[in-house]
C-alpha cells in the first residue's frame, strides 16, 4: 500500500524536477532517481546542492555569531559579572566602614567611662580630704574647749575644796564648842580637819 502510494506521489515532484532542471541529462536522471525507489536522504544527486547551501548558510551563521552576537552576549555577561563584583566590593567596603565606626564609638565610650570614673574618684577624694580637715579642725576646737573646761572645773574644784576646809573648821569649832564647851585652838582644829580630809 505504501509502495504504490509512494510511486504515485513521487511522479509529481519528479516531473516538477525535470521541468525545472531543464534538458540537462545529468540533472534529468538525478532527480527522477527517486523513481527507482531511492530513499531521498541517500540520493547522491542532491548532495552537491545541499553541501553548497550548507556551506553558505552555516558559514554566514558562523560569521554573524562570531562577529556580532557572541561579543554582545559575552559583553552583557561580563558587564553583569563586573557589576556584581563591584557591588559586592562596595558592600564590603561599607561594612568595613560601619565596623570601624562601631569600634571608634566603643573606644570613645570606654575612654569616656574611664574619664568619668577618674573625675568621680577625684571629686570623692577631694571631698574626703576636705571633710577630714574640717573634722580635724572641729576636733581641735573641741579639744581646746574641753581643756579649758577641765581647767575651769579643776580651779572651781580647788576653790570649792579650799572652802570645804574652812567650812569644816568652822563646823568643827562650832561642834566642839557645843559639845565640850571650851574653845579649841584654831590650829588644832585645822590640823584635825586636814588629817580627816587627807
Using a 10 angstrom Cβ sphere, with 0-12 exposed, 13-18 middle and 19 or more buried, the burial of residue 165 is middle
Question: How many residues in the shown chain lie near another protein by CB under 8 A?
Answer: 55
Task: Write b or e for each residue in 3-26: b if 16 or more Cβ atoms lie within 10 A of its Cβ, otherwise e.
Answer: eeeeeeebeeeeeebbeebeeeee
DSSP state of 24: -
580635724: which residue's cell? 136
Binding of residue 126 to another protein (CB under 8 A): no
Window contacting another protein (CB under 8 A); options: 14-22, 116-124, 158-166, 189-197: 14-22
| Cell numbers placing 179 | 559639845
- Contacting another protein (CB under 8 A), which of 80, 113, 135, 157? 80
Alpha carbons 84 and 103: distance in angstroms, whole number: 28
List, in sequence order, every beta strand (DSSP E) within 62-155: none
Binding of residue 16 to another protein (CB under 8 A): yes
Q: Which is nearer to another protein, 45 or 184 (CB)?
A: 45
Q: Which is nearer to another protein, 22 or 181 (CB)?
A: 22
Q: Which is nearer to another protein, 84 or 100 (CB)?
A: 84
Window contacting another protein (CB under 8 A); options: 6-14, 94-102, 114-122, 164-172: 6-14
Binding of residue 29 to another protein (CB under 8 A): no
The pattern of x and - marking residues 42 through 61 that bind another protein according to CB under 8 A reads: xx-xxxxxxxxxxx-xx-xx
Task: Report the SS3 class of residue 149.
Answer: helix
Binding of residue 81 to another protein (CB under 8 A): no
Distances in Å between the Cα of 133 and the Cα atoms of 71, 78, 87, 124, 198 are 91, 82, 68, 14, 47
Residues that bind another protein (CB under 8 A): 2, 5-6, 8-10, 12-13, 16-17, 20-22, 24, 26-27, 30-31, 34, 39-43, 45-55, 57-58, 60-62, 64-66, 68-70, 72-77, 79-80, 83
Amino acid at each position: 500500500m505504501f509502495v504504490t502510494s509512494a510511486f504515485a506521489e513521487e511522479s509529481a515532484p519528479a516531473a516538477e524536477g525535470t521541468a525545472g532542471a531543464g534538458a540537462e541529462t545529468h540533472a534529468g536522471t538525478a532527480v527522477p532517481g527517486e523513481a527507482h525507489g531511492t530513499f531521498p536522504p541517500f540520493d547522491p544527486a542532491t548532495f552537491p546542492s545541499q553541501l553548497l547551501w550548507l556551506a553558505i548558510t552555516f558559514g554566514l551563521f558562523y560569521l554573524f555569531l562570531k562577529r556580532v552576537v557572541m561579543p554582545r552576549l559575552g559583553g552583557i555577561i561580563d558587564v553583569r559579572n563586573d557589576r556584581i563584583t563591584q557591588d559586592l566590593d562596595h558592600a564590603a567596603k561599607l561594612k568595613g566602614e560601619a565596623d570601624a565606626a562601631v569600634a571608634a564609638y566603643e573606644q570613645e565610650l570606654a575612654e569616656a567611662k574611664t574619664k568619668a570614673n577618674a573625675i568621680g574618684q577625684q571629686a570623692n577624694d577631694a571631698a574626703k580630704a576636705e571633710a577630714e580637715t574640717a573634722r580635724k579642725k572641729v576636733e581641735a576646737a573641741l579639744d581646746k574647749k574641753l581643756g579649758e573646761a577641765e581647767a575651769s572645773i579643776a580651779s572651781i574644784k580647788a576653790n570649792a575644796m579650799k572652802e570645804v576646809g574652812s567650812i569644816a573648821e568652822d563646823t568643827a569649832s562650832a561642834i566642839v564648842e557645843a559639845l565640850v564647851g571650851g574653845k579649841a585652838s584654831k590650829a588644832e582644829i585645822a590640823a584635825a580637819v586636814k588629817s580627816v580630809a587627807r
